[in-house]
Amino acid sequence: MALSLDNVSIHRFNQPLLTVNFSVAAGEIVCVMGASGAGKSTLLDAISGQLSQPFSVQGDITLNGERINDIPAHRRNIGIMYQDALLYEHLTVGDNIAFALPRSEHHALKASERRARIVGQLDTVGLADFYDRAVQTLSGGQQARVALLRTLAAKPAAVLLDEPFGKLDNTRKEQLRPWVIQQLADRGLPALMVTHDSGDAQAVGGRIIEV
């Protein structure tokens, strides 16, 4: 599994903003760093298929050998994680994860089995009893963990992280960061992390792309 960007350039009102040329192998995390306004988040939007006017993209974005430029966002199978957990407040903690399950898995399992599986996932982050809790009652660190579980529950083929630890204090960041890196590595997912924090890049220890 791999995500490749071949001569991918982002344009704003037809003015070139940035051009990149690299690929991310399975299980690898590549960091993208650069000044504010350089177009880092826009690059993630282009990869996930969420680009809107005045931005446009050229070049080839390929995921596992398939060119995905023209595939709508919801069929690209690329997960995203932001610095805010963005858990849906109209759903409980467990239902947020249930929301992400692929259709096939939803149909293959009975309601009780789905619940058991989600409780099992919550258990791995020490939140086994939290299925029916309102998301507002969770701490920032807990929300971030649930957010990653939700992203992974959709069985993505690649993951994009947009400053995922930007809002956490140092203690929480030190706890969460290794866990997130481990989760992505365990699943052998190609991942792209946009960050300001050189500490993130060091912790990941992989390649750094400057834009």
Q: Summarize as ranges the residues that interact with another protein (CB under 8 A).
A: 13, 45, 48-50, 52-54, 72-80, 82, 84, 86, 88-92, 94-95, 98-100, 102-103, 106, 114-115, 131-137, 150-151, 153-154, 156, 160
Q: How many whole angstroms separate alpha carbon 93 and alpha carbon 116? A: 14
Q: How many whole angstroms separate alpha carbon 173 and alpha carbon 164? A: 10
Nearer to another protein, 141 or 156 (CB): 156
What is the token pair recorded at 76?
């690209």
Q: How far is the CB of 171 from another protein (least distance, A)?
A: 25
Q: How many whole angstroms separate alpha carbon 41 and alpha carbon 45? A: 6
Nearer to another protein, 79 or 141 (CB): 79
Q: How far is the CB of 77 from another protein (least distance, A)?
A: 7
Q: How far is the CB of 15 from another protein (least distance, A)?
A: 13
181's CB contacts (< 8 A; 6+ apart) are 29, 203, 204
Nearer to another protein, 194 or 203 (CB): 194
Nearer to another protein, 119 or 208 (CB): 119
Q: How far is the CB of 138 from another protein (least distance, A)?
A: 11
Residue with tokens 């149909």: 107
Nearer to another protein, 12 or 172 (CB): 12
Nearer to another protein, 82 or 165 (CB): 82
Q: How far is the CB of 101 from another protein (least distance, A)?
A: 8
Residue with tokens 């006017």: 53
| Three-state SS letters, 42-87 | HHHHHHHCCCCCCEEEEEEEEECCEECCCCCHHHCCEEEECCCCCC
Which H/E stretch holds residue 206? none
Q: How far is the CB of 202 from another protein (least distance, A)?
A: 27
Q: How far, in Å, are 121, 143, 157 from residue 154 at the CA level? A: 13, 17, 9
